[in-house]
């Protein structure tokens, strides 16, 4: 998993699919995590032109293909498994090399597809979260350390 973490966090930019203005949602918490670590991050949300996180509005992109130079992004996914399957196909077609599928965002079929199609996949059992799955809120600090990006925080 260390190689996947290094690949994921070596990207110059990040996108968060499922980003939300609602502080109770994990899409909000994950997007805020990237911002508090001073990582260049774009929220993805096809239903809202912006999300409000950390007292600021952030313009969203509707899909991975709408990102400027998608191949320079790693993608965190916080969407229901059915949405994640479509999102993974869009991300692959757009050229995104690495994905982090948060707990609850994928099923076995989605995980298998991701493992076949992406350079790096972080998901599934083995993380430090209470569910035993990899979560950026729990395991992201280690990923930053592995990639040599630790210490960048607001």
Asked if residue 25 belongs to a domain, the reply is yes
Asked if residue 154 belongs to a domain, the reply is no
Asked if residue 153 belongs to a domain, the reply is no
How many domains, the chain?
A: 1
Asked if residue 137 belongs to a domain, the reply is yes
Asked if residue 35 belongs to a domain, the reply is yes
- Helices 136-146, 2-9: crossing angle, 10 deg rounding: 80
Asked if residue 58 belongs to a domain, the reply is yes
pLDDT tens sequence across 60-71: 999 999 999 999
pLDDT tens sequence across 89-120: 999 999 999 999 999 999 999 999 999 999 99
Asked if residue 7 belongs to a domain, the reply is yes
> How does strand 98-101 pair with strand 120-122?
parallel
- For residue 100, give the nearest of 13, 40, 17 by alpha carbon: 17
The answer to whether 130 and 11 are in contact (CB under 8 A) is no
Kindly report the CATH number assigned to the domain that includes residue 131: 3.40.50.720
């Amino acid at each position: 998993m260390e190689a996947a973490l290094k690949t994921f966090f070596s990207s110059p930019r990040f996108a968060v699919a499922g980003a939300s203005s609602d502080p109770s949602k994990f899409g909000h918490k994950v997007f805020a995590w990237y911002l508090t670590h001073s990582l260049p991050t774009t929220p993805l949300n096809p239903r809202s032109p912006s999300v409000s996180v950390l007292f600021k509005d952030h313009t969203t992109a509707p899909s991975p293909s709408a990102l400027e130079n998608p191949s320079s992004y790693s993608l965190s996914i916080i969407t229901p498994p059915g949405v994640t399957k479509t999102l993974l196909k869009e991300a692959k077609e757009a050229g995104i090399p690495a994905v982090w599928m948060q707990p609850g965002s994928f099923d076995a079929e989605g995980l298998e597809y991701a493992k076949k199609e992406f350079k790096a996949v972080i998901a599934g059992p083995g993380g430090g979260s209470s569910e035993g799955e990899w979560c950026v809120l729990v395991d992201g600090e280690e990923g930053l350390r592995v990639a040599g990006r630790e210490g960048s925080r607001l």
